[in-house]
């Protein structure tokens, strides 16, 4: 790293994009990842699509219990 940097010709907000979305990375543990990769391959889906389907199904289940209780 340099001792000093010259930002005098810098442009504030040059790369700012108000519509940009930040998506959090989610890291699966090795056993879960291996299982999801196997299931995704068997079903012909991308791992991301399969995980999203599973999460949506579980969210619906959680919501159904909330309505009952």
Structure tokens at 24: 């959090």
Phi then psi dihedrals of residue 32, to 5 deg: -70, -45
- Residues 6 or more apart whose CB falls under 8 angstroms from that of 32 comprise none
Q: What is the pLDDT of residue 67?
A: 83
pLDDT digit string, tens, across residues 13-50: 999 999 999 888 999 999 999 999 999 999 999 999 99
Q: Tell me, what DSSP letter sits at residue 12?
A: T
Number of domains in the chain: 1
Domain that holds residue 68: 44-69
Integer distance in angstroms from the first to the last C-alpha of the chain? 58
Kindly report the pTM of this predicted structure: 0.62
Residue 53 belongs to some domain of the structure: yes
Q: What is the dihedral of CA 58, 62, 64, 67, to 10 degrees?
A: -160
Residue 16 belongs to some domain of the structure: no
């Amino acid at each position: 790293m340099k001792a000093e940097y010259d930002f005098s010709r810098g442009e504030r907000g040059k790369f700012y994009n108000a519509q940009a979305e930040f998506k959090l990375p989610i890291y699966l543990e090795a056993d879960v990842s291996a299982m999801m990769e196997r299931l995704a391959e068997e079903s012909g889906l991308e791992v991301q699509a399969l995980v999203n389907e599973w999460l949506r199904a579980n969210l619906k289940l959680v919501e159904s219990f909330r309505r009952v209780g």
